Chains A and B, each alone.
Chain A
Amino acid sequence: MTARLVAAALALAAGAAHAQDNPVARSLAASCAACHGTDGRSVTTEVVSLAGLPKEHIVAQMKAFRDGTRPATVMHQLAKGYNDAQIERLADYFAGRPR
């Protein structure tokens, strides 16, 4: 193995250790960040931070938006774009983020 290859492998290993999150969950959750802040940390008071909210709470709210039991301006329309598995995944991701 060449020195260059070792260096590259080490750099990659360091990157992999840092990238602790599941890439699919991370990427899915990023679709919420435009309005709710990077990693679910909103910089405004008008829109709620998702980081650190209990998983069951996020799942319940998303499903309530989706079935119309929780009224909203836009979330009832966006929640319909995600299936149950995706909602679980999003909720799991945000629940694990520090506030």
Chain B
Amino acid sequence: MKRRDFLKLAGAATLAGCATRGGAGKARVVVIGAGFGGATAAKYVAMWDPGIQVTVVERGTAFISCPISNLVLGGNRTIEDITRGYDGLRKHGVQVVNAEALAVDTEKRTVALASGGTLAYDRLVLSPGIDFLYGDIAGYQGAEPRVLHAWKAGPQTVELRRQLEALPDGGVYLLAVPVAPYRCPPGPYERACQVANYFKRAKPRSKVLVLDANPDVTSKGPLFKRAWEELYPGIIEYHPNSKVVAVDAATMSVRTDFDTVKGDVLNVVPPHRAGDIALKAGVITTSNRWCDVDWRTLESKAVKGIHVLGDATLSAGGMPKSGHMANAHGKVCAAALVELLNGREPNPNPVMTNTCYSFVSDREVIHVASVHQYDAAQNNIVPVKGAGGVSAARSELEGAYAWSWARNIWADMLG
């Protein structure tokens, strides 16, 4: 070993040594949440540097994908189709702990688990997804489970599908969309398509009523509206500027600022914020909702040594809260962690991409895509001008690509 290299290593070892407690030789990364962000970060750290010990804390026993979950509501895919196990992560040497993270001690650098016991970390990655601001909609909590959000794929997805199947022909499905920013900007409009697709096939007299708190469709607007007109004439009714402020399960109605509207199935998505553990760890920085990060490393701007990924982040300009984006966050964070824990400087110019596919029918798809590069002058990550865009038109070819995207990204994060 050359003297210069040895000194470099010794320097790095000191750095890692300082942060390493309990005398263990390996640097320890703990990841909370094995969704699109967390699973990706865990896999890529383990893959890129097997010398780092990676532990993932996940309360679910399997991964259930939000992307594609609207197709379960439309009856075009099953919940099994969108469920994957965590064994692939274990093959990369990642330790997967099936537990709920209860608290983070940022001084001692430990995570307390609900099942008892603690995990020590040198770097902590929080990819907690979202939790809901139920208080923003009067009566919401009393109205569950008759009123559902199904905005986290899982039991609510299955239950909402059951409600749709039980709906008589001629019934009304009501979908309430929160003010942006929210998880998956095109998601509500894809959901309207999927439910309409099901109604057209099975309950042609039924209606889809969309109450959108936003002034217009927030993503791929012209493409969605064209699909609604051409594929589902008379089925989808869209109301912008219609923020739901209260729900009542007894009368099966919702209240907006102007009106009371009834439905037979009420699917109300409340506004949300970064998941609970982000709140407990003290990394929420903005509007009591989101976590601001340094986009070169995804390190929290509030607490050193904690990195935040995915929907929980204060999204940079032009960056959607999407699974694909969280996957990109996971990789940039993993690359930075490997450099930092080896005493090197992280890449100052990371690149991220995003492609969000939406199924407007059982086979036809539209997309929105973007590329984001770190700009040192702006000290931020920004969309590359002239890059990205939306589909020219909906197509079955993109339907094939969309389903391919799902299988590849699931394998990329978990396989």
- Is residue B412 within 8 Å, beta carbon to beta carbon, of the partner chain? yes
Shortest A71–chain B CB gap in Å is 10
Q: Are A34 and B412 in contact (CB under 8 A)?
A: yes
Q: Decide yes or no: A33 and B412 within 8 Å by CB, A5-B13, A74-B355 being known contacts.
A: yes
Q: Are B397 and A38 in contact (CB under 8 A)?
A: no
Q: Decide yes or no: A30 and B26 within 8 Å by CB, A15-B50, A18-B51 being known contacts.
A: no
- Is residue A52 within 8 Å, beta carbon to beta carbon, of the partner chain? no
Q: Are B339 and A31 in contact (CB under 8 A)?
A: no
Q: Decide yes or no: A81 and B384 within 8 Å by CB, A38-B415, A74-B355 being known contacts.
A: yes
Interface residues of A in 46-99 (CB under 8 A from B): 46-47, 73-74, 77-82, 86
Q: Decide yes or no: A34 and B355 within 8 Å by CB, A43-B411, A73-B395 being known contacts.
A: yes
Q: Which of B332, B371, B391 has the most CB of A within 10 A?
A: B371
Q: Are A35 and B411 in contact (CB under 8 A)?
A: no
Q: Are A14 and B51 in contact (CB under 8 A)?
A: yes
Shortest A83–chain B CB gap in Å is 9
Which B residue's beta carbon lies closest to that of A66? B387
Q: State in angstroms the CA–CA spacing of A77 and B397 once bound together.
A: 16
Which of B44, B343, B400 meets A46, CB within 8 Å?
B400
Shortest B78–chain A CB gap in Å is 19
Which of B50, B395, B407 meets A18, CB within 8 Å?
B50
Partner-B contacts on A (CB < 8 A): 1, 4-5, 7-16, 18-19, 23-24, 26-28, 30-38, 42-44, 46-47, 73-74, 77-82, 86
Q: Are A47 and B404 in contact (CB under 8 A)?
A: yes
Could you mark each residue 152-180 of chain B with 1 if its beta carbon is under 8 Å from any beta carbon of chain A, else 0? 00000000000000000000000000000
Q: Are B328 and A11 in contact (CB under 8 A)?
A: no
Q: Are A12 and B51 in contact (CB under 8 A)?
A: yes
Q: Are B389 and A73 in contact (CB under 8 A)?
A: no
- What 17 new A-B contacts, CB under 8 Å, besides A34-B353, A74-B401? A5-B10, A10-B25, A12-B342, A15-B342, A16-B9, A18-B50, A19-B49, A19-B338, A27-B351, A31-B352, A34-B328, A34-B355, A35-B408, A38-B415, A46-B401, A80-B387, A81-B384
Across the A-B interface, give the 7 residue pairs with the lowest CB-CB distance, nearest first.
Answer: A81-B371, A15-B51, A81-B387, A8-B13, A46-B404, A80-B387, A27-B335
The total number of A-B Cβ pairs within 8 Å is 156
Which B residue's beta carbon lies closest to that of A36? B408
> Which secondary structure dominates where chain A touches chain B?
helix
B residues in contact with A5, CB < 8 Å: 10, 13-14, 17
Q: Decide yes or no: A44 and B13 within 8 Å by CB, A7-B25, A74-B367, A80-B387 being known contacts.
A: no
Q: Are A31 and B331 in contact (CB under 8 A)?
A: yes
Q: State in angstroms the CA–CA spacing of A10 and B384 once bound together.
A: 41
- Is residue B243 within 8 Å, beta carbon to beta carbon, of the partner chain? no
Q: Decide yes or no: A81 and B342 within 8 Å by CB, A7-B25, A73-B395 being known contacts.
A: no
Q: State in angstroms the CA–CA spacing of A92 and B405 once bound together.
A: 23
Which of A24, A26, A80 meets B384, CB within 8 Å?
A80
Q: Decide yes or no: A35 and B335 within 8 Å by CB, A5-B14, A18-B50, A42-B408 being known contacts.
A: no
Q: State in angstroms the CA–CA spacing of A44 and B411 once bound together.
A: 10
- Is residue B222 within 8 Å, beta carbon to beta carbon, of the partner chain? no
Q: State in angstroms the CA–CA spacing of A73 and B404 once bound together.
A: 14
- Is residue B12 within 8 Å, beta carbon to beta carbon, of the partner chain? yes
B residues in contact with A4, CB < 8 Å: 17, 23, 25
Which A residue's beta carbon lies closest to that of B336? A27
Q: State in angstroms the CA–CA spacing of A31 and B44 once bound together.
A: 12
Which B residue's beta carbon lies closest to that of A7? B25
A–B complex contacts, Cβ < 8 Å, 6 sampled = A18-B49, A42-B404, A46-B401, A46-B403, A73-B401, A80-B386
Which A residue's beta carbon lies closest to that of B349? A24
Q: Are A9 and B10 in contact (CB under 8 A)?
A: yes
Q: Decide yes or no: A78 and B51 within 8 Å by CB, A5-B17, A23-B335, A43-B407 being known contacts.
A: no
A residues in contact with B51, CB < 8 Å: 11-12, 14-15, 18
Q: State in angstroms the CA–CA spacing of A68 and B355 once bound together.
A: 19
A residues in contact with B401, CB < 8 Å: 35, 46-47, 73-74
Q: State in angstroms the CA–CA spacing of A44 and B371 once bound together.
A: 23
B residues in contact with A80, CB < 8 Å: 371, 384, 386-388
